[in-house]
Amino acid sequence: MSEKINRQWLLAARPEGMLNDGNFKQTETPIPEPGEGEFLAKTIYVGVEPAMRGQMLPQSAYAQVMQIGDVIRAGGVSQIIKSNHPDFAVGDMIQCSPGFQEYMVSDGKMVSKLPDGLNAEAVLSVFGGTGFTAYYGMVETGEVKEGDTVLISGAAGAVGNIAGQIAKIKGASKVVGLAGTDEKCKWLIDEIGFDAAINYKDDDYADQIRAAFPDGMNVFFDNVGGEILDVALNNLALNARVVICGGISRYNKDHKVPGPENYFNLVYKRARMEGFIIVDNLHRAQEFSDAMTPWLEDGSLKYQVDIIEGFENLPNGLMRLFTGANKGKQLIKVNDPI
């Protein structure tokens, strides 16, 4: 590849059903030149998340939609290779939104240098939007406290595994994860420290949930929605908190899906169900990282990244989220740093 070329992945067609290769188109443009007060940065890592599919649709409930022909929008870490900006030097590693492309020019807005002592993997997982989502959802919305019993869906994913670790740190007496393979369930128990894990593809998974929470659960942290949410609502303890973080089971459906049949248990159990969007709270990033730093330092919180390599694999990295191929935060390494 010529060094003067910027390879990009564009939105070729809006998704209908599962994302597929036809939604993406590769193109090449000249590498842009930074003007006065700007810098050129080379993409090192791109991080993907399920909400990106929603931004490819013609309308989005809260995020700016991508237009056909736009570079696929995504967060990541880049390295500055040319700078006309007084505050950024060649070699600086920055957290930014490179999108699915190899180079970007920026004026430094919405960009931050990696904090001292933190590598790109940590910044894109536990100390990025992913970790803050887990923290905010579990601690603030879920109000997890000592002795609570907790169920987490999508537990082996980026947010889910961190939410489970935070629940344990906060003194939850039992943390159970739901995941889509036996291997992920074993990983959650052996490596991440969950007390138990259930494969939601087992025919009797609802019975397994009931058996795991004979007195009902105090917190349900939901990344999945659909039938799993309904089963959880049937197994709440008194005053339970149901945290609606995500609903990935509905993201590839092009029709409206019915609401949970068991919602009235919120009344019987005097329970609360509440959703949140982390971008409303990004101004609190420092507060979240202050809370989480000691846990990372003493080893009680570990970050989990699932790294695949290569610019060509950017669409594949996003599609892996919807087939359950990833464990922990899905990153795509596009280039080595200089």
Binding site for ligand NAP (CB under 6 A): 49-51, 130, 133, 154, 156-160, 179-181, 184, 223-224, 245-249, 276-278, 321-322, 324, 326
CA distances from 277 to 51, 230, 240, 248, 331 (A): 11, 21, 20, 15, 21
Instruction: Compare residues 5 and 282 and give the one whose CB is closer to ligand NAP.
Output: 282
Is the CB of 277 or the CB of 338 nearer to ligand NAP? 277
Distances from the Cα of 198 to the Cα of 71, 203, 208, 265, angstroms: 38, 11, 7, 23
Q: How far is CA 9 from the centre of its chain?
A: 21
CA distances, 100 to each of 82, 239, 317, 321 (Å): 20, 44, 11, 16
- Minimum CB distance to ligand NAP, residue 200 (Å): 7
- Least Å distance, CB 10 to ligand NAP, is 23
Least distance to ligand NAP, CB of residue 184, Å: 6
Of 193 and 324, which has the nearer Cβ to ligand NAP? 324
Q: How far apart are CA 24 and CA 10, in angstroms?
A: 6
Q: How far is the CB of 148 from ligand NAP (least distance, A)?
A: 20
Q: Provide CB contacts within 8 A for 172, sequence distance 6+.
A: 144, 146, 147, 148, 149, 150, 219
What whole-number distance in Å separates Cα of residue 292 and Cα of residue 42? 29
Q: Identify which of residues 122 and 179 has a Cβ nearer to ligand NAP in the complex.
A: 179
Instruction: State which residue, 67 or 323, has the beta carbon closest to ligand NAP.
Output: 323
Cβ-count burial 169-207 (b if 16+ within 10 Å, e if not): bbebebbbbbbbeeebbebbeeebbbbebbbbeeeebbe
* Triad 180, 183, 185: Cα angle to 5°: 65
User: Closest distance between ligand NAP and the C-beta of residue 254, in Å?
Assistant: 14
- For the bound state, the minimum distance from the C-beta of residue 37 to ligand NAP, rounded and expressed in Å, comes to 32
Angle of CA points 19, 22, 27, to nearest 5°: 120
State the Cα–Cα distance between residues 83 and 73, nearest whole angstrom.
Answer: 23
Looking at the Cβ atoms of 43 and 130, the one nearer to ligand NAP is: 130
Q: Which amino acid is at 195?
A: D
Q: What minimum distance in Å lies between the beta carbon of 53 and ligand NAP?
A: 9
Residue nearest to ligand NAP (CB): 157
Q: Which residue has the tokens 């006309």?
A: 84
Q: How far is the CB of 133 from ligand NAP (least distance, A)?
A: 4
Looking at beta carbons only, is 92 or 306 nearer to ligand NAP?
306
Chain position carrying tokens 């019975």 = 207
Question: Nearer Cβ to ligand NAP, position 276 or 295?
Answer: 276
